[in-house]
Amino acid sequence: VVGIGGGSTMDLAKAVSLMLTNPGSAADYQGWDLIRRPAVYHVGIPTLAGTGAEVSRTTVLTGPEKKLGINSDHTVFDQVVLDPDLLAGVSTEQWFYTGMDCYIHCVESLQGTFLNAFSRAYGEQAMALCRQVFLQDSPDGDEKLMMASYCGGMSIAYSQVGVCHALSYGLSFVLGLHHGIGNCVAFDYLEEFYPEAVEEFRRMMQRHKVNLPRGLTADLPDEKLEKMVDVALVLAPLWENALGPDWREKMTRERIRDLYRRM
Amino acid sequence: VVGIGGGSTMDLAKAVSLMLTNPGSAADYQGWDLIRRPAVYHVGIPTLAGTGAEVSRTTVLTGPEKKLGINSDHTVFDQVVLDPDLLAGVSTEQWFYTGMDCYIHCVESLQGTFLNAFSRAYGEQAMALCRQVFLQDSPDGDEKLMMASYCGGMSIAYSQVGVCHALSYGLSFVLGLHHGIGNCVAFDYLEEFYPEAVEEFRRMMQRHKVNLPRGLTADLPDEKLEKMVDVALVLAPLWENALGPDWREKMTRERIRDLYRRM
């Protein structure tokens, strides 16, 4: 199975390769280490850079009840082809939103409680490359962004993402937002968790003249807003990484709902 | 096959695992991409950090005529266990010499003509970690050095080492010097090739009170000195990486002999 495309396409390729050798529905395997059998040989060829799906051990899927990944050692691609020429022609906004997925998951990995020396080394290098790409004029920006994406994906292999990704999953599930833009929408309201990074993110947005959509949850029926909170709350490891083992005391339904209401 | 130890031990484990499935003598396969069949499953567990043998696609062997690696995609370990606690108890000198192998091959990779975005990202991160370990007081120095070694090994996966490693191979073949100390002995005379890095290397030596052996080639018979030059000259890709495709015009037997005479 060969996946050529952005994060969703590569994730689909991973999921198909897993489901060819594991019985039942993909929904049965959403979670951590539920896969029993190795996948068929699968190859990832990214045409967008940032998600890290080319190296991550998850394939994020939207099921009937939640948005959650199949996280397993067998999910990882057997082979990856990284060709920066494949980034040519992508629109500035898509390039930015996907790149920010990398930037944001590195912020969350580097500030998380699950961090180890492996995740830190990769996360630091991905951050350095993101800064070169998004805050400087870099002649080989596409190569750098592809490496940033790879390093960012490796960084979360042994650590975890955090508050922004958890909230972003709720936005995607209920509003159908792409993951990259969902991250950006959420991150801009997370100054209390990641103050310096949010400030830097805003400088990156300004530099590339990106305008985020606003007021997304203004007219949302309560029922949908509660569903959004449910989807975010399922992601326990993300909250624990961001806030520690007692995260449930710090991150209540009310607090998540308030955050969503501002978006 | 499980290799637990420093670079030589891990390389031996790689070589044995390759020779269990490929007929003939290991000497037949010294070079680039001569291996035909996958090795048996092999695992590397480093107890020293720096060589990068845990992730490199070579197993360096000393044959009857030369010191050269079996470089192939099948050489790479199937699995690696990185446990910084295994570095406990190593002597300062051995720790330093092995760590400098990483520092030096990153210098050579980053300044080489074969560099690409992948090698650069890994090389930069390995250098940053080496500087933390050898020039600062780092509380988690063993973890960092193990990651530096891993990143340094990845850096040379798609690039190559240079002048110092080529000369070091000659020193090891004729004088039986360990690779790490051979690198340090040679590097100290390579200011004309790597001026800033040699200066930084000397600061690292000073900080850790390391005294290099001197006068190693003073009483060496001509025949042995010529053998040393022969061994170094075999390593064409290293010279080409350091000096470009016309390296034979720049690096004559005489010039190599002069460099060795100073050591």
- Mean pLDDT lowest among A233-237, B1-5, B15-19: A233-237
Buried b (16+ CB within 10 A) or exposed e, B73-101: ebbbbeebebebebbeebeebebbbbbbb
User: Which token pair is B24?
Assistant: 């003939």
Q: Which amino acid is at A152?
A: G
Class of domain A1-81 (CATH, top level)? alpha beta
Site from B87, B118, B142 to mutate, A interface, most A CB atoms within 10 angstroms? B118
Of B5, B17, B21, whose CA–CA distance to B42 is shortest? B17
Buried b (16+ CB within 10 A) or exposed e, B136-168: eeeeebbbbbbbbbbbbbbbbbbbbbbbbbbbb
Sheet with strand A79-80: strands edge to edge:
A2-5, A43-46, A79-80
Measured CA to CA, the distance from residue B146 to residue A256 in angstroms comes to 39
Per-residue pLDDT at A65 exceeds 80 = no
Measured CA to CA, the distance from residue A111 to residue A93 in angstroms comes to 26
Least CA distance to A140: which residue of chain B? Answer: B117
- Across the interface, whether the CB atoms of A125 and B129 are under 8 A apart is answered no
- Across the interface, whether the CB atoms of A151 and B82 are under 8 A apart is answered no
Per-residue pLDDT at B64 exceeds 80 = no
Q: For the segment B125-166, what is each residue's pLDDT rounded down to a tens digit?
A: 999 999 999 999 888 999 999 999 999 999 998 899 999 999
Q: For the segment B7-16, what is each residue's pLDDT rounded down to a tens digit?
A: 999 999 999 9
Average pLDDT value over all residues in chain B: 95
Nearest to A117 among B120, B124, B140 (CB): B140
Q: Is B192 exposed, middle or buried (0-12, 13-18, 19+ CB in 10 A)?
A: exposed
Mean pLDDT of A160-189: 96
Mean pLDDT of B237-249: 96
With contacts defined as CB-CB under 8 Å, which chain B residues touch A125? 121-122, 124-125
Report whether A83 contacts A4 (CB < 8 A).
no
Task: Please indicate if any CB of chain B lies within 8 Å of the CB of A179.
Answer: no
Domain A91-263 has CATH 1.20.1090.10: yes
Mean pLDDT of B66-89: 93
Higher model confidence: residue B232 or residue B61? B232
- Closest-CA distance of chain B to residue A226, Å: 43
Beta bridge partners of A3: A44
Task: Please indicate if any CB of chain A lies within 8 Å of the CB of B124.
Answer: yes
Measured CA to CA, the distance from residue A224 to residue A235 in angstroms comes to 18
Of A91, A262, A260, whose CA–CA distance to A180 is shortest? A91
Task: Please indicate if any CB of chain A lies within 8 Å of the CB of B125.
Answer: yes
pLDDT at position B62 is: 81
Beta bridge partners of A19: none
Q: Where are the domains of chain B?
A: 1-81, 91-263
User: Which token pair is A127?
Assistant: 């951050």
Nearest to A124 among B122, B125, B150 (CB): B125
Q: For the segment A90-117, what is each residue's pLDDT rounded down to a tens digit?
A: 999 999 999 999 999 999 999 999 999 9
Per-residue pLDDT at A141 exceeds 80 = yes
Buried b (16+ CB within 10 A) or exposed e, A155-166: bbbbbbbbbbbb
pLDDT at position B67 is: 76
pLDDT at position B184 is: 98
- Across the interface, whether the CB atoms of B121 and A82 are under 8 A apart is answered no
- Closest-CA distance of chain A to residue B213, Å: 34
Of B35, B149, B151, whose CA–CA distance to B97 is shortest? B149
Per-residue pLDDT at A158 exceeds 90 = no
Sheet with strand A58-62: strands edge to edge:
A31-32, A67-71, A58-62
Mean pLDDT of A14-20: 97
Average pLDDT value over all residues in chain A: 95
Task: Please indicate if any CB of chain A lies within 8 Å of the CB of B54.
Answer: no
- Across the interface, whether the CB atoms of B117 and A151 are under 8 A apart is answered no
pTM over 0.90: yes
- Across the interface, whether the CB atoms of B125 and A125 are under 8 A apart is answered yes
pLDDT at position A41 is: 98
Task: Please indicate if any CB of chain B lies within 8 Å of the CB of A146.
Answer: yes
- Across the interface, whether the CB atoms of A121 and B125 are under 8 A apart is answered yes
Residue A231 binned pLDDT confidence (cut-offs 50, 70, 90): very high
- Report the relative pairing of strands B79-80 and B43-46 from DSSP bridges: parallel
Q: For the segment B176-189, what is each residue's pLDDT rounded down to a tens digit?
A: 999 999 999 999 99
Task: Please indicate if any CB of chain B lies within 8 Å of the CB of A72.
Answer: no
Measured CA to CA, the distance from residue B187 to residue B76 in angstroms comes to 27
Q: For the segment A23-61, what is each residue's pLDDT rounded down to a tens digit?
A: 999 999 998 999 999 999 999 999 999 999 999 999 988
Q: For the segment B172-226, what is each residue's pLDDT rounded down to a tens digit?
A: 999 999 999 999 999 999 999 999 999 999 999 999 999 999 999 999 999 999 9
**ipTM for this prediction:** 0.88
Q: At B203, phi and psi to the nearest 5? A: -65, -40
Task: Please indicate if any CB of chain B lies within 8 Å of the CB of A124.
Answer: yes
